[in-house]
Amino acid sequence: MQAFTQHTGIVAPLDRPNVDTDAIIPKQFLKSIKRTGFGPNAFDDWRYLDAGGPDIDNSTRRKNPDFVLNQPPFDKATILLARENFGCGSSREHAVWALVDFGFRAVIAPSFADIFYNNSFKNGLLPIVLDADIVDDLFKRIAAKPGLELSIDLEKQTVSCEGEVIARFDIDEFRKHNMLNGLDDIALTLQHADEIRAYEERRGQEAPWLF
């Protein structure tokens, strides 16, 4: 997965609590397990005015002009600002894949659903928990200045706005290490490839009937 060290980008305000995973990527798009290609259908029901499906050309569909991610400059956002309990609902990992494929590197919210939170770290999407008052202040800043950029420094665990550190966030040290180094579960396992190979060879000699 893509490592996360520092990132600066436009923030898109999604001013809704309890955004569930079916809203992030509707169930009809869950047929693929390739992790890519879901970006055009992120928030599909809110983003388009007509019904979509996995075999429909999205370029021919009518976009909802009232949805924030269809509005410049938020259509180029790489940081999503949301309200509490973001990513609730079903455990579909496709929700994280859709956000990453859209171009998001981080999501900031007062709280996240546990499974979505865990899935984010495994796919290079940084979920940042900030106090509700700070999140509310960020919504106000964006309303006053659309296109506002935030800078996130994972090593220092800070969020900055216009050169000023406005918040520090907590993160588990193991998850932080993995994000900084771009290590998903497969990459972590492959770090022990030599030991795994040696074990399999030894087992093949000790118990050949198993092979």
* Domains contained in the chain, number: 1
At 125-174, the pLDDT tens digits run 999 999 999 999 999 999 999 999 999 999 999 999 999 999 999 999 99
Q: Which of 30-39, 85-94, 170-179 has the lowest mean pLDDT?
A: 30-39
Give a yes or no: residue 99 inside a domain. yes
Q: What is the CATH number of the domain that holds 27?
A: 3.20.19.10
Give a yes or no: residue 181 inside a domain. yes
Domain holding 19, by residue range, is: 6-210
Give a yes or no: residue 69 inside a domain. yes
At 32-48, the pLDDT tens digits run 888 889 999 999 999 99
Q: Is 210 a residue whose pLDDT tops 80?
A: no
3-class DSSP state of 167: strand
Give a yes or no: residue 1 inside a domain. no
Give a yes or no: residue 149 inside a domain. yes
Give a yes or no: residue 204 inside a domain. yes
Give a yes or no: residue 161 inside a domain. yes
| Per-residue buried b or exposed e for 198-211, using 16+ beta carbons within 10 Å of the residue's own CB | eeeeeeeeeeeeee
Give a yes or no: residue 137 inside a domain. yes
β-bridge mates for residue 79, sequence order? 11, 106
Q: Which residue has the tokens 């546990």?
A: 114
